[in-house]
Amino acid sequence: MPVRTVLAAALGSVALLCAAVAPATAASGESVTVDRTGRLASDGTVTLSGTYTCTGAGGPVFISSSVSQDSPNYKYGIGGTRAVCDGAEHRWENTGKVTSEKLKPGAARVEATIMELRSTGGLPLPSFHATGQRDITLTED
């Protein structure tokens, strides 16, 4: 079986598990923040940023982010950044493209999550370190 097929299946499983499992409360000293403003380019490219702190990871860790506007039922995933869980505060920045008519400059809601992929029986399963939400302003880039 091609590696891409296996990876796609694993990531699909993780996405389903992420939807079914609520993020855990952050462990002591772990946090993720979202900056007050995000950037929206005319082609639909969105850039979100903030800070994070995490510790004790044994597998790969990522900062994921999503943005919603007008309806909390529609969230758009905006990139993912590899994280370093050494207990120090780090910056994160995610960029992703959304169909340009889906978002507009103005008020938006962003959620960012520190998520580790832990291998359990050979299958990477999500383990949540921290999550943060903030109302922001999307500005034209």
Taking only the tens place, the pLDDT of each residue in 23-80 is 444 557 899 999 999 999 999 999 999 999 999 888 999 999 999 998 878 899 999 9
| 105 pLDDT more than 70 | yes
The pLDDT of residue 102 is: 81
Compare 124 and 82 and report the one with higher pLDDT. 82
Instruction: Determine contact, residues 11/73, Cβ cutoff 8 Å.
Output: no
Residue 120 has a pLDDT of: 85
Nearest to 120, CA basis, from 4, 2, 8, 10: 10
Between 3 and 51, where is the model more confident?
A: 51
For the whole model, what pTM was predicted?
0.78
- Judged by average pLDDT, the poorest of 11-15, 75-79, 127-131 is 11-15
Q: Is the pLDDT of residue 16 over 60?
A: no
What CA–CA distances, in Å, run from 130 to 30, 35, 44, 53, 69? 6, 16, 28, 9, 23
